[in-house]
Structure 1
Amino acid sequence: MTVPTLSLAYRPEIFTKFPHLIAAQSLRHGGVSPAPFTSLNLGLSSGDERKNVLENRNRFFNNLGFQPEDIALSYQVHDDKVLVATQPGNYEGYDAIVTNSPGVFVGVSIADCTPILIYDSSSNAVAAIHAGWKGTMKQIVSKTLQTMTQHFGTNPVNCFAYIGTCISECAFEVDADVADYFTSDYKRWDSEKNKFFVDLKQANFSQLLKAGIPKEQVEVSPFCTVEHNDNYFSYRKEGKKSGRMFVVIGQRTNR
């Protein structure tokens, strides 16, 4: 499977049956940022020039069909807090955002951590989740679905989900201080490298299924930010000068 090298975004197939829905994960192409942020860097805290990032955001959001002022974003802290957004804006301290308001788009920023998008086809609620190893360990996916149930009456059986491109198991090597938080289902020991390897995609996939989302209603990206670094940013591979990607989801107002 290949990603078109000049695309600004990948649009998950799992959501294409819902024409009123906009959902996407950005790629690294089509922006104005010079090396080392080449080129569609969307992260204001990455060290890139602000004017470049704002232009990149304009290009990305306009390409999807909405404006930067239509999105709710948060400064993420690798925790398990979930924001219920009723209007767009910039927030702080949340790693998941949910809404059921048409015209309000929710998104998270990633560079290796696992992005998850959820759509409730019954209530039209949506969620964007940033799940690093800490958020995964703290069950942020499960807590997001619980929040959707509490506020929107969500039944997971009606939900569709996308686990986006992140660092894959083959590249996510960690020491015991991280690996100890995960069961053997989601990690393996490599005796040659003397490291553990953790599978964040599988760990979050299991949370979605345990919450009640049918397996056939979940799409998992086959790509890896490290292995497919030509299309995706990777903090693990590129270091502090890595750009940032967005995953976003929301309902059009002109349904």
Structure 2
Amino acid sequence: MFAYTDFIPNVTKSGGVVFALTNRYGGYSQPPYDSLNLAFHTGDEIAVVERNIAHSLEAFKKLDLRYVNAQNLAYMTQIHSTHCALLEENLYEGEARQNNGAINVGEADALVLSRTHMPAMVLVADCNPILFFDKTHNVAALIHAGRKGVFGEICSLTLARMSEHYDTQASDMYVFVGAGIRKCCYEVGDDVCVELGYREQYIEIREGRYFLDLESMLKAEFENLGIMDYYFLPRCSSCDREFFSYRRDGVTGRFALMAMLV
């Protein structure tokens, strides 16, 4: 069910963030969504997705050793934008609550979390799932960073949003980047190279074919922002069949990065 879990304390050690990256195993969906698909929009049966989410949430809550009663799970309608929403502002303004207790907070590709014991998730199947954690102010954000998001510097915009509302500084930040498609598999066309301005440090050419390196782009963005405390999970979602991959499979499910402040 979980490919990676961790807990990062805040500077006072009185709180922190618990997070987990799901894989595709341990759920109830049938092929081609087998088995732990957590997304409603893929064509999978809604009742099965609800069961998968409830099952994942119960396992996730147990990662908090104090095991308080977590509230309902929040998620976004992801649209490959650079819009960053605040959970507190959007919590009751989004779409209808799902039967399993998951709450859609509306269209966004980054979600800032400030309420403790309110779990949230970001869904991916090749895009980069990113956690920002402000260790000083005990605030976090979940980010969906595909090509459009990385090109649009969604991480920089999210940090600016956190800074505006919670006084977050780059020096306060811990960043985790989960499994996503890496340059080994991310072949792109001339149009993407033109959009990028043919920046050679981010494009690898192999036998006349172009492969995009979003990982290096993100690292450069973090360091330009002054964020030095980051970790990239060394897994490619397209290579590794433990994860769903849209590039590899086409019709498929979605895995998630889940996070909760405690």
Structure-1-length-normalised TM-score = 0.88
1:53 and 2:49 equivalent? yes
1:84 paired residue number: 86
Provide Cα deviations, 1:166-206, integer angstroms capped at 9, x if missing partner: 0111100000111223322211222x2x3210111221122
SS state at 1:128 partner:
strand
2:163 paired residue number: 149
Residue 53 to residue 69, structure 1, CA distance change in 2 (3 Å): farther
Q: 1:35 is matched by which residue type in structure 2?
A: P
Separation in 1 of the partners of 2:165 and 2:31?
A: 43
1:23 paired residue number: 19
SS state at 1:150 partner:
helix
Instruction: Determine if contact 1:111/1:234 at 8 Å carries over to the other structure.
Output: yes
Separation in 2 of the partners of 1:156 and 1:106?
A: 22
1:233 and 2:244 equivalent? yes
Instruction: Determine if contact 2:8/2:16 at 8 Å carries over to the other structure.
Output: no
| 1:249 CA displacement | 1.5
| 1:72 CA displacement | 2.3
| 1:126 CA displacement | 0.2
Separation in 1 of the partners of 2:29 and 2:168?
A: 40
* Structure 1 residue corresponding to 2:211, chosen from 172, 194, 197: 197
**Cα RMSD for the two superposed structures:** 1.8
Provide Cα deviations, 1:119-168, integer angstroms capped at 9, x if missing partner: 00101110000011011000001100010000100011111010110011
| 1:17 CA displacement | 4.8
2:233 paired residue number: 221
**1:162-177 correspondence to structure 2 within 5 Å:** 162-177=176-191
Separation in 1 of the partners of 2:85 and 2:178?
A: 20
SS state at 1:246 partner:
strand
SS state at 2:259 partner:
strand
With 153-162 and 85-94 compared, the bigger mean Cα shift is at: 85-94
| 1:69 CA displacement | 5.5
Separation in 2 of the partners of 1:79 and 1:248?
A: 20
* Percent identical residues: 30
1:185 and 2:201 equivalent? yes
Instruction: Determine if contact 2:83/2:154 at 8 Å carries over to the other structure.
Output: yes
Separation in 1 of the partners of 2:131 and 2:213?
A: 18
Separation in 1 of the partners of 2:49 and 2:43?
A: 10
SS state at 2:247 partner:
helix
Instruction: Determine if contact 1:72/1:90 at 8 Å carries over to the other structure.
Output: yes
With 32-41 and 80-89 compared, the bigger mean Cα shift is at: 80-89
Separation in 2 of the partners of 1:212 and 1:158?
A: 10
1:250 paired residue number: 260
SS state at 1:180 partner:
helix
1:11 and 2:5 equivalent? yes
1:70 paired residue number: 72
SS state at 1:70 partner:
coil
Instruction: Determine if contact 1:105/1:250 at 8 Å carries over to the other structure.
Output: yes
Separation in 2 of the partners of 1:186 and 1:68?
A: 41
Q: 1:246 is matched by which residue type in structure 2?
A: A
Instruction: Determine if contact 1:159/1:213 at 8 Å carries over to the other structure.
Output: yes
Separation in 2 of the partners of 1:106 and 1:203?
A: 26
1:124 and 2:118 equivalent? no
Instruction: Determine if contact 1:97/1:107 at 8 Å carries over to the other structure.
Output: no
Instruction: Determine if contact 1:118/1:162 at 8 Å carries over to the other structure.
Output: yes
Structure-2-length-normalised TM-score = 0.85
Instruction: Determine if contact 2:110/2:141 at 8 Å carries over to the other structure.
Output: yes
